[in-house]
């Protein structure tokens, strides 16, 4: 059937096939059943959504090649077509502009990663279990969604699986109910969440606590294969101190809890999700060899997850601020000062191709290591220009003013300008919009310490 419909107003320039800006979702309710052996997933999704400024004659969800059993819009059967990773839906009657509506989708099949320029993304079957690593466009590999980072919603996720397995999702565990040989785990994430940041892991884990939330801190849990616990205990021992430092520098932790999962397999890189980070067994060596990555993923809870980019052109705001958080942790925990790390990064970038425009790198370069390094350097250049006192106020206010919101590079540069005593337009243009690497900035004038030191790092 032909479902041509309305023209989308603003598709993502890097991923125009993902997401539909004609409406927004404010809540997902996912009820899933997963069997690890045959890698079989079935589910029901109920989406509560609101039409945009124009009447909605049709709309689209992203969903991989599952078998779709039933679709309902406001309880009625619409016309729909499911091809090429898109579920196009035409309600029996057009939805009025601004109208609230619900969509229900039933689907089943064998989940697998979706193809991308960076390999498979999304649902990954492990030797014994599964995990989700969706950035940037892998979410449709396991559930129907409006897959654009700016469309943030709350989530209620129920997963039924054999009782030997632990299910971990971002958010608060509401209930865990065992009947016969299966257990249903129910999680609630009330904070607005982008589809790519909905994390899920199913595996054979032991659960341990990090820190002491009874002392007023953030509840931190870890889910780790038993044989990796001795090494994990050393590698993640300083995460509670990291959390205290980042709350001091960036403001209160933006979610209700924080969980980490260590999969019993190697992962190329750790994976950030909302309220959750996933690491591979190769990131646990008993010698704190991946501590900078622990800091990086934790920092994403503020930068990327709570404060979310409007589209993927602005990815440097996620990765540059998380990279700089690595340097701040090093500086405050007895490691190398941020300026020394910036000097090393600048030396590295100076001998590499000068073809990266940080504020709009293009899809091909959006995960290039140079973007991370130059992003961190840009944040450091801003610190050097503002001075420590204004810089740390700027950073904390950025996370606070835009908590659970959506931002762009232009919003960030306007924010920075408000904290500068001298013009910074040329500096920001050079670092963000010019491919050539600017000179290394001079060190911050003030001592390299934030204005309010946190509790000392634990051993």
The answer on whether 125 is annotated among ligand-binding residues is no
Beta pairing, strands 276-279 & 257-262: parallel
CA atoms of 124 and 445, how far apart (whole Å): 48
Report the candidate in 175, 161, 170, 174 with the shortest Cα–Cα distance to residue 203. 161
Q: Assess contact for 230 and 286: CB atoms under 8 A.
A: yes
As to burial, measured by CB atoms within 10 angstroms (0-12 exposed, 13-18 middle, 19+ buried), residue 170 is buried
User: Exposed, middle or buried: residue 421 (CB in 10 Å: 0-12, 13-18, 19+)?
Assistant: exposed
319 is in an annotated binding site: yes
29 is in an annotated binding site: no
Burial (CB count <10 Å: 0-12, 13-18, 19+), residue 298: buried
Q: Binding site for Zn(2+), residues?
A: 296, 300, 319
Q: Binding site, residues?
A: 296, 300, 319
């Amino acid at each position: 059937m032909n479902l041509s419909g309305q023209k989308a107003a603003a598709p993502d320039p890097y991923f125009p096939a993902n997401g539909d800006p004609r409406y927004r979702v404010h809540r997902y309710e996912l009820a899933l059943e997963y069997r690890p052996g045959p890698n079989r997933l079935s589910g029901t999704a109920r989406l509560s959504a609101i039409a945009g400024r124009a009447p909605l004659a049709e709309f689209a969800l992203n969903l991989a090649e599952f078998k779709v059993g039933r679709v309902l819009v406001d309880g009625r059967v619409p016309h729909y077509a499911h091809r090429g990773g898109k579920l196009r839906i035409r309600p029996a009657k057009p939805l009025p502009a601004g109208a609230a509506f619900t969509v229900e989708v039933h689907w089943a099949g064998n989940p697998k990663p979706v193809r991308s320029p960076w390999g498979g993304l999304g649902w990954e079957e492990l030797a014994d279990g599964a995990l989700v690593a969706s950035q940037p466009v892998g979410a449709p590999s396991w559930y129907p969604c409006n897959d654009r980072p700016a469309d943030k919603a709350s989530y209620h996720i129920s997963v039924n699986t054999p009782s030997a397995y632990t299910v971990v999702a971002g958010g608060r565990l509401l209930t865990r109910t065992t009947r016969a040989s299966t257990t249903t785990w129910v999680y609630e994430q009330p904070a607005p969440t982008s589809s790519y940041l909905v994390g899920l892991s199913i595996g054979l884990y032991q659960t341990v606590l990090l820190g002491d939330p009874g002392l007023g801190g953030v509840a931190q849990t870890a889910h780790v294969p038993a044989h990796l616990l001795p090494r994990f205990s050393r590698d993640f021992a300083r995460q509670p101190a990291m959390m205290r430092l980042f709350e001091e520098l960036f403001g209160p932790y933006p979610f209700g809890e924080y969980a980490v999962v260590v999969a019993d397999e190697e992962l190329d890189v750790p994976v950030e999700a909302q309220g959750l980070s996933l690491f591979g067994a190769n990131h646990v060596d008993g010698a704190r060899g991946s501590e900078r990555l622990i800091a990086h993923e934790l920092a994403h809870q503020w930068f990327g997850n709570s404060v979310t980019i409007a589209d993927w052109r602005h990815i440097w705001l996620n990765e540059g601020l998380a990279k700089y958080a690595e340097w701040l942790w090093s500086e405050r925990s007895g490691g190398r000062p941020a300026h020394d790390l910036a000097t090393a990064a600048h030396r590295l970038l100076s001998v590499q191709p000068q073809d990266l425009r940080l504020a709009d790198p293009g899809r091909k370069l959006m995960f290039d290591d140079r973007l991370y390094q130059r992003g961190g350097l840009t944040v450091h250049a801003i610190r050097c220009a503002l001075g420590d006192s204004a810089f740390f106020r700027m950073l904390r206010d950025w996370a606070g003013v835009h908590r659970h919101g959506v931002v762009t590079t232009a919003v960030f540069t306007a924010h920075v300008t408000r904290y500068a005593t001298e013009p910074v337009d040329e500096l920001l243009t050079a670092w963000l919009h010019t491919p050539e690497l600017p000179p290394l900035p001079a060190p911050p004038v003030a001592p390299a310490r934030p204005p309010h030191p946190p509790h000392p790092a634990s051993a």
